[in-house]
Structure 1
Amino acid sequence: MENHNLTHEFPELEEKINDFRLNDEGFKKMYVNYEEVNALIQHYEEGEQNHTTDDHLTDLRKKRVSLKDNLYSYLKE
């Protein structure tokens, strides 16, 4: 399974990610939301029994991409 942690996705921005996580409430909220969605996807993908539908998992993946795009835009401002 692929690693989708934000610092893995954007290693060149790791220092900025860590700084914003600690000092920027707007970024922190988006970051926590991203990590929660990512953890939920990992839980469903790793589980021997999948307790969700394919449509729900697809929706979660779309949400993760959207959050990642928003976070990247925020970091690049």
Structure 2
Amino acid sequence: MQIEHHDLHHEFPEYLDSIHALKASSAPFGEMYDEYHQLTREVERLEEEDLPVGDFIIETMKKQRVLLKDQMYRMLVAFKNSD
């Protein structure tokens, strides 16, 4: 199965500098970043290994990941616009 990677550097290449700056300066962003990447690794692992887990569990994890990505995107836009 072909797995699509969703790390933030691929999702928001235009915000690479802002991602690094916010990770260093904003604890809430750093926590969301870590949680997002932990969820991404777990979803990818479950999909790659085709482990017997309910679709509901994976979909819930994906929805949480989208919520985190939306929150971080808003923070990235605000940070970049404040420069």
Which residue matches 1:5?
7
What TM-score do you get using the length of structure 1 for normalisation?
Answer: 0.92
TM-aligned CA deviation for residue 6 of structure 1:
0.5
- Residue 70 of structure 1 aligns with which residue? 71
Return the index of the structure with the highest Cα Rg: 2
Amino acid at match of 1:61: K
Identity of aligned residues (%): 32
Residues in 1 aligned to 2:65 and 2:52: alpha-carbon distance in whole angstroms: 19
- Residue number in structure 2 paired with 1:60: 61
TM-score (norm 2): 0.85
Displacement, 1:29? 0.6
Superposed CA RMSD = 1.0
Q: Distance in 1 between matches of 2:56 and 2:65?
A: 14
The amino acid that maps onto 1:37 is L
Residue pair 2:5, 2:44 contacting (<8 A) in 1 also: no
The Cα of 1:62 is off from its aligned counterpart by 0.7
Aligned to 1:22: 24
Q: For this pair of structures, how many residues does the alignment match?
A: 76
